[in-house]
Structure 1
Amino acid sequence: MSVDLKRGETLPIHINMTFPSLPCDVLSVDAIDMSGKHEVDLDTNIWKLRLNSYGHIIGTEYLSGPGGTGPWSQAWLSFEGDKVGGNSDSIIVSMRVPFSPSIYYDKGHHEDSDEKLHAFGFDQASENLIKKVKQALENGEGCRVYGVLDVQRVAGNFHISVHGLNIYVAQTIFGGATHVNVSHTIHDLSFGPKYPGIHNPLDGTVRMLHDTSGTFKYYIKIVPTEYRYISKEVLPTNQFSVTEYFSPMNEFDRTWPAVYFLYDLSPITVTIKEERRSFLHFITRLCAVLGGTFALTGMLDRWMYRLLEVLTNKPKARSVLR
Structure 2
Amino acid sequence: MGRIPSLKNFNAFPHAEDHLLKKTYSGAIVTIFGLIIMITLFVHELKFYLTTYTVHQMSVDLKRGETLPIHINMSFPSLPCEVLSVDAIDMSGKHEVDLHTNIWKLRLDKYGHIIGTEYLNDLVEKEHGTHDHDHDHEHKDDEQKKQEHTFNEDADKMVKSVKKAMENGEGCRVYGVLDVQRVAGNFHISVHGLNIFVAEKIFDGSSHVNVSHVIHDLSFGPKYPGLHNPLDDTTRILHDTSGTFKYYIKIVPTEYRYLSKQVLPTNQFSVTEYFVPKRATDRSSWPAVYFLYDLSPITVTIKEERRNFLHFITRLCAVLGGTFAMTGMLDRWMYRLIESVTKSKTRSVLR
TM-score range, shorter chain: 0.7 to 0.9
Q: When the two structures are aligned, how many residues end up with a matched partner?
A: 266
* Pair 142,280 (structure 1): closer, same or farther in 2 beyond 3 Å: same
Q: Quote the residue 1:293 is aligned against.
A: 323
* Pair 277,171 (structure 1): closer, same or farther in 2 beyond 3 Å: same
Q: Does 1:258 align with 2:283?
A: no
* Pair 292,21 (structure 1): closer, same or farther in 2 beyond 3 Å: farther
- Separation (CA, whole Å) in 1 of partners of 2:249 and 2:342: 73
* Pair 129,309 (structure 1): closer, same or farther in 2 beyond 3 Å: farther
Q: Quote the residue 1:267 is aligned against.
A: 297
Offset, 1:38: 2.9
Offset, 1:226: 0.7
Offset, 1:245: 1.4
Q: Does 1:10 align with 2:67?
A: yes
Instruction: Give yes or no for contact 2:100–2:179 (8 Å, CA) kept in 1.
Output: no
Give structure 1 stretches of 5+ with no counterpart. Answer: 70-117
* Pair 133,280 (structure 1): closer, same or farther in 2 beyond 3 Å: same
- Separation (CA, whole Å) in 2 of partners of 1:163 and 1:288: 69
Give structure 2 stretches of 5+ with no counterpart. Answer: 1-57, 125-146
- Separation (CA, whole Å) in 2 of partners of 1:307 and 1:221: 70
* Pair 300,14 (structure 1): closer, same or farther in 2 beyond 3 Å: farther
* Pair 160,229 (structure 1): closer, same or farther in 2 beyond 3 Å: same
Matches within 5 A, 1:32-181: 32-38=89-95, 44-64=101-121, 120-181=149-210
Q: Quote the residue 2:237 is aligned against.
A: 208
Q: Does 1:283 align with 2:283?
A: no
- Separation (CA, whole Å) in 1 of partners of 2:231 and 2:338: 62
Q: Quote the residue 1:90 is aligned against.
A: none
Q: Quote the residue 2:277 is aligned against.
A: 248
- Separation (CA, whole Å) in 2 of partners of 1:246 and 1:294: 65
* Pair 295,168 (structure 1): closer, same or farther in 2 beyond 3 Å: farther
* Pair 259,302 (structure 1): closer, same or farther in 2 beyond 3 Å: farther
* Pair 136,287 (structure 1): closer, same or farther in 2 beyond 3 Å: same
Instruction: Give yes or no for contact 1:190–1:200 (8 Å, CA) kept in 2.
Output: yes
Letter in 1 for 2:152: D
**1:174-193 Cα distance to aligned partner (Å, 9 max, x none):** 11111111111111101011
State, as a whole percentage, how many aligned pairs show the same letter: 81
TM-score normalised to structure 2 length: 0.68
Of Structure 1 and Structure 2, which has the larger fraction of its residues in helix? Answer: 2
- Separation (CA, whole Å) in 2 of partners of 1:239 and 1:200: 7
TM-score normalised to structure 1 length: 0.74
- Separation (CA, whole Å) in 2 of partners of 1:240 and 1:127: 43
Q: Considering only CA atoms, is the larger Rg found in Structure 1 or Structure 2? A: 2
- Separation (CA, whole Å) in 1 of partners of 2:74 and 2:160: 25
- Separation (CA, whole Å) in 1 of partners of 2:96 and 2:252: 24
Instruction: Give yes or no for contact 1:43–1:63 (8 Å, CA) kept in 2.
Output: no
* Pair 219,304 (structure 1): closer, same or farther in 2 beyond 3 Å: farther
- Separation (CA, whole Å) in 1 of partners of 2:81 and 2:183: 29
- Separation (CA, whole Å) in 2 of partners of 1:241 and 1:303: 61
